Amino acid sequence: MRKRKLLSIALVLCLFAGIATTQTSCSEKQLGQAAEAAKDIAGGTRDVIKAVGDAYKAGLITIEQKDRLAALLKAVAKGGQHGVDVIDSLEKQGVTTLSPDNSRVLRAVFDDEVISPFLSLLTELGKLSDNSSVAIRAALASVRTAIVLLSSRIGRNDVIQAIRAREVWNA
């Protein structure tokens, strides 16, 4: 009897998996991609913070440079938190189609609170010599990848172009 019950649960599992796959809407997929990107950006941001601290302690960057980078990283972290709150709220509401208002809110948080400080971060890094910034840039790679990947998936080539325009390397 127990085996029959478990077998029926397993069959239901397979059925749900099939239904979930076919019914996954475009918006649910985008929410999932945004959540995954947020996770990667959050982890990468912590790595960059550590790299900046190490660079400062090693005397590779000045206190002023360190302060500017720290402020921008704090802004990315705060903006990212806000973005996660929005994604979480939509996911809990069971949103299957993003309304124009939802899309507008998500875009505003993405542009103003995550991308803007991130682009400023790239600008600041562009002012440093390669030698002093190499470890910071290496740590930033995962954040950049997550942002570029998400931007590509949601059709935001303007963000990708803006990132490329700020990637300056100095001798």
Partner 1 sequence: MPDKIQWLPILTELGEEEVARIIEKSPDIKSAILKARKDFKTAETEAADLEKLGHESEG
CB of 161 to partner 1, least distance (A): 26
Whether residue 106 contacts residue 72, with contact meaning beta carbons closer than 8 Å, is answered with: no
Among candidate residues 69, 42, 78, 52, the one with its CA nearest the CA of residue 124: 69
Helices 116-126 and 63-92: crossing angle in degrees, nearest 10, is: 160
CA distance to 2, 10, 86, 112, 167, per residue, from 79 (Å): 50, 41, 11, 8, 22
Contacting positions for partner 1 (CB under 8 A) = 2-3, 6-7, 9-10, 12-13, 16, 20, 28, 31-32, 35-36, 38-39, 41-43, 45-46, 49-50, 52-53, 56-57, 63, 66-67, 69-71, 73-74, 76-78, 80-81, 84, 87-88, 91
Tally of CB atoms within 10 A around 73: 20
Whether residue 98 contacts residue 14, with contact meaning beta carbons closer than 8 Å, is answered with: no
Residue 103 or 161: the one with the smaller Cβ distance to partner 1 is: 103
Residue 28 or 119: the one with the smaller Cβ distance to partner 1 is: 28
Residue 32 or 126: the one with the smaller Cβ distance to partner 1 is: 32
CB of 165 to partner 1, least distance (A): 25
Residue 58 or 165: the one with the smaller Cβ distance to partner 1 is: 58
